Structure 1
Amino acid sequence: MSAPEERPAPTSRPSPDATSPYESAPRETSSHETSLHDYALSRHGIEPDGRVPARGYPLPDGPPEPSRPRLTLREAQEEVASALADTLADPDPVRAAAAVHRLVRSLVMPHRTLRACVIRLPLTDEAAARRTGRRLVRTGTTPAAVQVGLGLLSRLGEPEDAPWLTVLGLLKGFERPVVAALDRLDRQAAALLMLRTRVRDTALYPLLDAVEAGDDTAVLAALTGLPPDFRTLGCARRIAEAADLHRLLRAHPRDPALLARAAGLLHRMADQHDVRAEILDYGPATDAYETLISHADLLPATPGHRAVLLSIALDLHSGPAALLDWRPGRREALLDALGRLPAAPAPGDAPGEPAEGRRADWMARTGRQPFRVPPDGERLRIEVVAEDPADRNDVETRILVDGRPLVPALFGKGPGTSPERLLDTGLLRAGSEPREVRLAEAYCSEGCCGALYVTIRREGDEVVWGDWRGAVGPPPPEYRFDAAGYDAELERADRDRPWSWPARSTARLVADGLRERPDLLTRWDALPGWVGTAWDEPDTVEVYFTYWPGLAAGNRDREGPWLQFGWRIPQDGAPVGERAAAVLDRLASTDPKTRAQVRGGSREHAEALGHPWPERG
């Protein structure tokens, strides 16, 4: 591999002799080759602004990465073991690294597969393998050989390896595995690398620069100075780790700006609209909650501050934060402290700010929910939780067994299913026949990352939840509930609806009416679809339906054209019941296609059926 024209490497490069005596031995690379480590340093040194491009610097020119679509993991593991097992036991790291460079040429497989096999490879001498892994990471000249070293240090690395791994993480294809390796060795280095290579928001740059400069005063100023609307979803934990939030809170526990930023980050970490709630992987989470809540009275009682503290209370009560390793009684004590904070003042008249009114209404409806003390011995609890409308308008059904929320404990890839699907339809009720119920779907979709299912059945005086499907980790146990108590809890959850606002209540009544009278749509050759509130206008009801010609006459052509329509119905101030009845009456008398817009199908189907296809910008 030819080395690019290089400038002198930055002086921050770690010294091989300072970290390991064997690094003073001659390198096995020839004079016209350079290690990937040195190449990454040189690329970083010549960047005019020192910024790392998205996903890292491109690798030097070389052979393309191998691809074997039909290769199974078992076959790959056998090939890697046969090629490398003996070499990785060689006590001489220079000789072993040179051999790895030769041997990996015969391993025709993607680099991520090679690395995964090395991580799983049985080793007869871990100390020898560690030395070889270091040699490959520091002096390896081909991506495949360096990936072998990365795989070894992912399982055997020590804190002294963190600087070398960090440099490799600047290269495309290495960032994700290096971050994973650093997570075990140096969380702050892992966070800095992830934020440098994945987050493109320039507002974050001053914080990253201050952390790398080791300037604590600048770190505090940059963290608290992030714009109020800075989106931390998906990277809140990494920001907290990079800034060492826990240490900052201990040093400045009475700084209102820092407390406000910590509150926002902790709540974002508990968000379930991702692969896994970040709070479960944030090591100092319980201490950070303790410090924040102990000084929460120092935050001005503004609607924004009280809203995020209420959201944190919901996280601690029934969300992922309830799963943290709490000392006995501490979580309950923190909830009690939050419950004793004074309420935010009611907003003034602001007709031009409907979002402020929605947030105030949410706090009024939700304000006491996380502070209710459950009855002693309560086995099953169903909490329907509406999120702060300033964030999103989602509502989820949280199921707690013995005080522990099931969905984040067993699935962790998305929030619980909506109450309209679980409660309003009676899916959670236990009947004479077993019923499989979807409790949660992955944030991306079931087809992408799965869903969590449980089979509910009644056995005499008990309701049984078992035959789980889609759970992450070991198979969940079978849960048994007293049938009378189970039914009573479902009834209570169905009646207790402070989470619902007028438009959502209207949508529920419309959906109930369409279930009871399906002819309201079939008479117009339409099938009912989703009914709810618009994601961008929570005070607007949306009714979706599919137009399929011939449906009313019973001669629907399943191969023929069809279209999906959406009908938006703004709230007009009328009582919920009257508004829902008016919508159903209109469906009975007027073809809804005259008021709705095409939302799905195809342009060809729209042209065939005489409807305009929406032009999207």
Structure 2
Amino acid sequence: MSAPEERRPLTSRTSLLSLHAYARARLDAEPEGRLPEGCYPPPEHALPPDDAGPSDRAAPLRHREAVDAVHEALDPLLVPPGPASGGDPGTTAEVVRHRLARLPVSGRSVASAVADLPLADEPAARALGRHLVRTAPDLASAHVGIALLARLGEPADVPYLRVLGLVQGLTRVVVRALEPLDARAAALLHLTCHSERPGLRVLADAFASGDPRAAAAALIDDPLGIDTVSPSQARLLADAADLAGLLRGGRTDPRLLVRAGRLLVRMTGQRDYRTEVLRYRDAVEVFETVVRRTCGLPPTVERAAVLLSLALDLDSGPSHLLPWREGQREQLLDALGALLTSPEWAALPGRADASAPPEVRHRAAWLRGAAERLFASRPVSPGRLRIEVVAHDPVEREPVETRFLIDGRPLVPEAFGRGPGHSPEYLLDSGDLAATGEPREVQLAEAWCTEGCCGALGVIVVREGDEVVWRDWSHPARLPDGSPAPSLPVYRFDAAAYDAELARGVGEEGWSWPARDTGRLLAAGLRARPELLARWDARPLHAGVDTRDPYTTVLWFLYRPGIFEGEDDERGPWLHFVWRLPDDGAEPRERAAAALRRLAEEDPRGYAECRGGGR
């Protein structure tokens, strides 16, 4: 139920129905008080005026130009002695609406502009924001009010924001404003307005009902397929369900514990624009509850996989950076280590039969190998630099990543946070991290959406006497949450210790699987014998596994006339080829050796697939 004052019809001074009153009326008309299926389209009067002819209509401004224009229009209103300073917020709201009506700007530009406007009189700006949220009849001025409350809002503003966010075009900015005030309200609003998938609709209704048993049952029944959700969706589901609240109390359904653990694992994933587990406010509590209570249950493969995944992230992943009490993270790791290495749990995966599907064999091998490397093979006294190759639960389909801990802190999530460290093939097998007297630029990680979109983390590696130096860092100026990225110092490592740690990382085994081992051996063979492909006017591009089928080895190569003679012209004709090698059950060394022999004897263009090229 909403607060009584939320139901009063609010209108602007122009007598147009406010967007809040419009959304409130639509919501009150929903049958049985249910949430709507998606957002409400804004009323016609809320849209920008369309009465100008095509020749008179101003072209939309580019984002930076639009932000500057909004600054110019609003700045005098929010700095004393402007109308908002101790004056009537209604008067200022009318000025805001009329000024924005003349600007060809989007709501996104309005919100961005207000986000960094100087606010010399915060109480007056808050009063203006509240007035606009409750009375604005158009999208542009509503964006101003929402953006002001995103900076200055208080819990009393939540009911109004929650209703206004049901208007199409306002949801995203309202969710952003609600998150610091009421994470559950923000998540429910997001699910409501993006409930195209039937399962998502079922979950949204269960979470909004206010019945903890219905919410828990919905999570357990998994109508959405939680094993397929993205990291950001996993956090939204946990917030909307009040997962921490569901887990409180003396007795919890074991199935809910597994589901909660799987949501946490999803949040630690790196296939998103930010690390969601660090945005989840209840992460520490849910970690503690899941680990402690699952440790008291009988062993199953699914429970072991969830607990091992959480342990890997607590050790060297983003979850290492959560606001733990002193010693809390280490105690959880100790408890997980004692459990997963106990005879009953360690024997759990067994050895899958050779006739079993590759994914079954892979998961069994991962459960054994990852637990052994984490709890039994880890250095007792790691040096200043620690390098870990981390392969995730195969059902998660997360990339294998190289992690770096400097002085015990995970480097990539702390300094970058937009994607995982590069693969061991890229960083370790290639030899790029080997330090010489010649400075070398090394990219340690790339944004999930590619470097060209959100950047990368790079460093210069050089050997100086008996030290290896990492210096001259390159990375985005801000972290995904908008806060300034930490200023990375020059790191100096003892050269002998550095070489030993790098050799340990390169030589670490057990994290890979047959198709990937075959790809690594094939890549190593081509590095040692580049003439195998060069004789066919080709050069390797990538040897590894198919991203859609991790149990098939692939070799990508480029064909360009003149490579063998060293006279290829980059502006000349070229073709891309891919050679797929399905797992035939042979040992990786045998498969890689057979592939290299065939490359030496037969032109690969005759049996590889052409995947495009230049004109």
Q: Indicate the residue corresponding to 2:575 in structure 1.
A: 563
Q: Shift of the alpha carbon at 1:119? A: 2.8
1:71 aligns with 2:62: no
Match of 1:426 among 431, 444, 448: 431
- Report how far residue 391 of structure 1 moved: 1.9
Counterpart of 1:611?
none
Taking the aligned partners of 1:140 and 1:414, their CA distance within structure 2 comes to 39
User: Is the Cα–Cα contact under 8 Å of residues 80 and 107 in structure 1 kept in the other structure?
Assistant: no
Q: Counterparts in 2 of 1:127-166, with a 5 A limit?
A: 127-166=123-162
Mark the CA change 1:387 to 1:247 in structure 2 (over 3 Å): closer, same or farther.
same
Q: 1:377 to 1:567 in 2, by over 3 A?
A: closer
1:204 aligns to what?
Answer: 200
Tell me by how many angstroms 1:46 deviates.
Answer: 5.6
- Alignment partner, residue 526 of structure 2: 514
Cα distance, 1:345 vs structure 2: 4.2
1:94, distance to aligned residue in structure 2 (A):
2.6
Structure 1 residue 545: deviation in Å? Answer: 0.6
Of the candidates 6, 10, 15, which is equivalent to residue 4 of structure 2?
Answer: 15
Structure 1 residues 264 and 457, CA gap change in structure 2 (3 angstroms): same
Structure 1 runs of 4+ with >6 Å offset: none
Matches within 5 A, 1:51-200: 52=36, 57-58=41-42, 60=44, 62-63=47-48, 67-69=60-62, 71=65, 73=67, 76-82=70-76, 84-85=78-79, 86-200=82-196
State whether residues 43 and 57 of structure 1, in contact with CA within 8 Å, keep that contact through their aligned partners in structure 2. no
Residue 189 of structure 2 aligns to which amino acid in structure 1? L
Please identify, of 539-548 and 469-478, the stretch whose mean Cα deviation from structure 2 is larger: 469-478
- The answer for the alignment partner of 1:29 in structure 2 is 13
Q: Is the 8 A contact 2:11 2:21 kept in 1?
A: no
Match of 1:324 in 2: 322
Instruction: Decide whether aligned partners of structure 1 residues 189 and 461 sit closer, same or farther in structure 2, where only a CA change above 3 A counts.
Output: same
Q: Output the TM-score relative to the length of structure 2.
A: 0.89
Query: Does 1:597 find its partner at 2:582?
Result: no
User: What per-residue deviation string (whole Å, max 9, x for no partner) do you get for residues 213-265 of structure 1?
Assistant: 21122112112221484323231111111111111111255420111111101
Equivalent residue in structure 2 for 1:356, among 360, 376, 379: 360
Q: Does structure 2 retain, via aligned residues, the 8 Å contact 1:87–1:100?
A: no
Whole-Å separation in 1 of the counterparts to 2:552 and 2:119? 62
* Aligned 8 A contact 1:89 1:125 in 2: yes
Counterpart for residue 248 of structure 2? 250
Q: Output the amino acid matched with 1:100.
A: V
In the alignment, structure 2 segments of 5+ residues that lack a partner are 51-58, 340-344, 480-484
Shift, 1:518, TM fit: 1.5
Distance 1:597 1:199 in 2: 40
Judge conservation of contact 2:73–2:100 (CA < 8 Å) in 1. Answer: no
Does structure 2 retain, via aligned residues, the 8 Å contact 1:301–1:345? Answer: no
| Structure 1 pair 253–333 and aligned structure 2 pair: CA distance change class (3 A) | farther
**Alpha-carbon separation, structure 1, partners of 2:44 and 2:31:** 19
Question: Partners of 2:408 and 2:141 in 1: how far apart?
Answer: 49
Instruction: Decide which moves more: 180-189 or 284-293.
Output: 284-293
The answer for the alignment partner of 1:269 in structure 2 is 267
Question: Which residue in the other structure is 1:610 paired with?
Answer: none
Query: Which residue identity is paired with 1:392?
Result: R
Query: What is the TM-score normalised by the length of structure 1?
Result: 0.89
Measured in 1, the distance between the counterparts of 2:550 and 2:143 equals: 49
Equivalent-residue separation in structure 2 for 1:280 and 1:429 (angstroms): 32
Q: 1:163-562 to 2 correspondence within 5 Å?
A: 163-227=159-223, 229-230=225-226, 231-233=228-230, 234-251=232-249, 253-341=251-339, 342-343=345-346, 344-346=348-350, 349=353, 351=355, 353-372=357-376, 374-376=379-381, 378-392=383-397, 394-471=399-476, 472=479, 473-562=485-574
CA gap of 1:486–1:470, structure 2 versus 1, over 3 A, is same
Structure 2: which amino acid aligns with 1:80?
Answer: L
Indicate if the aligned counterparts of 1:457 and 1:464 stay in contact, CA closer than 8 A: yes
Moved more, 496-505 or 256-265: 496-505
Distance 1:261 1:354, change over 3 A: same
Say which SS state the counterpart of residue 89 (structure 1) adopts.
Answer: coil
Write the distance in 1 (CA, Å) between the matches of 2:352 and 2:365. 13
In structure 1, distance between residues paired with 2:280 and 2:122 = 29
* Partner Cα separation in structure 2 for residue 64 and residue 593 of structure 1: 60
8 Å CA contact 1:411–1:470 kept in 2: the answer is yes
Q: Write the deviation string for residues 164-215 of structure 1: whole angstroms up to 9, x where unpaired.
A: 1111211222111111100111111001011222343222333322332211
The code of the aligned residue for 2:41 comes to Y
| Partner AA of 1:148 in structure 2 | V
Opposite residue 272 of structure 1, the aligned amino acid is Q
Deviations 1:496-532 (CA, angstroms, capped at 9, x unpaired): 1221222222211211121122221121121211100
Q: Calculate the aligned-residue CA RMSD, in Å.
A: 2.5
Distance 1:537 1:300, change over 3 A: farther
Cross-structure match for 1:573: 585
2:266 counterpart letter in structure 1: R
Report if the CA contact (8 A) 2:11-2:18 is conserved. no
Task: Give identity over the alignment, percent.
Answer: 48
Q: How many residues align?
A: 586
**Cα distance in structure 1, aligned partners of 2:304 and 2:202:** 28
| 1:459/1:560 CA distance change after superposition, 3 Å | closer
User: Contact (CA 8 Å) 2:387, 2:502: kept in 1 or not?
Assistant: yes
Distance 1:585 1:393, change over 3 A: farther
1:101-133 alpha-carbon deviations (Å, 9 max, x no partner): 233334443322222222322233322221221
CA 1:363–1:333: 2 relative to 1, 3 Å: same
**Displacement after TM superposition at 1:52 (Å):** 4.5
Q: Which runs of 5+ in 1 are unaligned?
A: 1-11, 606-617
2:449 and 2:6 map into 1 onto residues whose CA distance is: 48
Task: Give the letter aligned to residue 457 of structure 1.
Answer: V
Cα distance 1:171–1:601, how it changes in 2: closer, same or farther (>3 A)? Answer: farther
Which shifted more, 88-97 or 333-342? 88-97
Q: Is the 8 A contact 1:87 1:99 kept in 2?
A: no
Q: Closer, same or farther in 2 for the Cα pair 1:83/1:124, shift >3 Å? A: closer
